Amino acid sequence: MRFKDHHIISMTSFSKDMIDHILETAEKMEPIARGKQKSDLLSGKVLAVLFFEPSTRTRMSFETAMYRLGGNVLNLGSIDASSIAKGETLADTIRVVDSYADAIVLRHPKEGAARLASEFSAIPILNAGDGAGHHPTQTLLDLYTIKRESQLEGLKIALVGDLKYGRTVHSLCYALSLYGAQITMISPRELRMPEEIINDLENRGAKVTELDSIEEAINDVDVLYMTRIQKERFPDPAEFQKVANRLKITPDLLKNVRPELRIMHPLPRVNEIHPEVDKTVHACYFKQAFYGVPVRMALVALVLGAMK
Ligand code: CP
């Protein structure tokens, strides 16, 4: 399977075979990600990291992935300290950075920014989140987590929270449709999954149900995938206040659930998962954050042609 020189922009262009290959490669990377084995697979390679929005996990797990494989990282750093603050366009920034590095990781507040960047880049662009658009590398680590902590085939999953602006859930549900998942969408009415995505999913053969509360679904699913209501995406702060604090997981809610239920969250969380839930067998969001390292190691190694 050829990934060399491919841009990673959206999950809509991935086949099940492509995803399975990345997940299998990530499994091979796990001992290196845990620091139990050494590797110089990406020695001499440079990954440029351009983040126009805040990040902890995506940025640092890409950087860790590169260091664990013996490669180097070139971080643009703060936007205010770069020439973007002088008005340089994204296109010009990409044209310049592609002559300094072997691949570019880009996070940007505008939907479509990664695709635009790919039109100006001779090296692979890895979309690390484009506004309310897509977050494909998060999806790959989510699938890896589900494979490790639950099961991918025949999965029943509830996506909870901000399904309108949530790029993680937009990307994830396209991938889940390839595995025949039964997808339940739970959100405030104002933050429903966009109709065009639901139509796409149904056209791809997915079974989609929409509900209003976690209680209605909690005993019927293998995975509850929580998301944050993203204050920063609301044009009007008053609209945010209307929907904040509606969907939460508390220890009480988990009293009678099956031990196999897994709770995931791309993080950061604000208050949608009570900290007491962290101690339960259901919580797997911190493991999920770790799995970003082997998955991103696999992706970078594949697009740079260091693995096939
Ligand atoms: N899940 C995720 O994208 O986290 P960060 O915003 O911290 O990168």
Query: Tens of pLDDT along 251-287?
Result: 999 999 999 999 999 999 999 999 999 999 999 999 9
Residue 73 forms part of a structural domain: yes
Distance CA 28, CA 16 (A): 19
Check whether 106 has a pLDDT greater than 70: yes
pLDDT for res 236:
85
- In terms of domains, do 163 and 251 share one? yes
Distance 302 CA to ligand 1 centre (A): 22
Distance CA 190, CA 25 (A): 39
- In terms of domains, do 154 and 230 share one? yes
Residue 3 forms part of a structural domain: no
pLDDT for res 97:
97
- In terms of domains, do 123 and 144 share one? no
- In terms of domains, do 147 and 88 share one? no
Residue 1 forms part of a structural domain: no
Residue 121 forms part of a structural domain: yes
Between 236 and 299, where is the model more confident? 299
Distance 195 CA to ligand 1 centre (A): 25
Residue 87 forms part of a structural domain: yes
Residue 247 forms part of a structural domain: yes
Backbone angles phi, psi at 272, to 5 degrees: -80, -15
Residue 240 forms part of a structural domain: yes
For ligand 1, atom 3: residue with the closest CA: 58
pLDDT for res 233:
82
> Is the CB of residue 308 less than 8 Å from the CB of residue 280?
no
Check whether 95 has a pLDDT greater than 80: yes
Please check if 90 is assigned to a binding site: no
- In terms of domains, do 279 and 145 share one? yes
Measured torsion, CA atoms of residues 201, 137, 237, 50, in degrees rounded to the nearest 10? -140
Distance 176 CA to ligand 1 centre (A): 20
Amino acid at 252: D
Distance CA 243, CA 248 (A): 12
Closest ligand 1 atom number to CA of residue 56: 7
pLDDT for res 114:
98
- In terms of domains, do 239 and 250 share one? yes
Split at pLDDT 50, 70, 90, the class of 243 is confident
Distance 56 CA to ligand 1 centre (A): 6
- In terms of domains, do 20 and 123 share one? yes
Check whether 232 has a pLDDT greater than 80: yes
- In terms of domains, do 257 and 200 share one? yes
Average pLDDT, the chain: 96
- In terms of domains, do 176 and 115 share one? no
Distance 287 CA to ligand 1 centre (A): 14
Distance CA 147, CA 269 (A): 22
Distance 256 CA to ligand 1 centre (A): 31
What number of other Cβ atoms are within 10 A of residue 99's Cβ? 8
Residue 184 forms part of a structural domain: yes
Please check if 86 is assigned to a binding site: yes
Q: Is 255 exposed, middle or buried (0-12, 13-18, 19+ CB in 10 A)?
A: exposed
Ligand 1, residues 50, 51, 52, 57: which to mutate, most atoms within 8 A of Cβ?
57
Please check if 135 is assigned to a binding site: yes
Ligand 1, residues 55, 141, 285: which to mutate, most atoms within 8 A of Cβ?
55
SS3 letters for 72-110? EEEECCCHHHCHHHHCCCHHHHHHHHCCCCCEEEEEECC
Parent domain of 278? 136-289
- In terms of domains, do 79 and 143 share one? no
Using CB distances shorter than 6 Å, the residues near ligand 1 are 55-58, 129, 138, 266-268
- In terms of domains, do 17 and 157 share one? no
Going across the sheet that includes 125-130, the strands are 72-75, 46-51, 103-108, 125-130
Distance 206 CA to ligand 1 centre (A): 27
Ligand 1, residues 170, 267, 269, 272: which to mutate, most atoms within 8 A of Cβ?
267
Q: What is the CATH number of the domain that holds 91?
A: 3.40.50.1370
Residue 239 Cα to chain centre, angstroms: 25
Average pLDDT value for residue range 2-21: 95
Average pLDDT value for residue range 191-195: 95
For ligand 1, atom 5: residue with the closest CA: 55
Percentage of the chain surpassing pLDDT 70?
100
Residue 135 is classified by DSSP as -
What is the tally of structural domains in the chain? Answer: 2
- In terms of domains, do 144 and 201 share one? yes
Closest ligand 1 atom number to CA of residue 267: 1
Split at pLDDT 50, 70, 90, the class of 1 is low
Average pLDDT value for residue range 37-61: 98
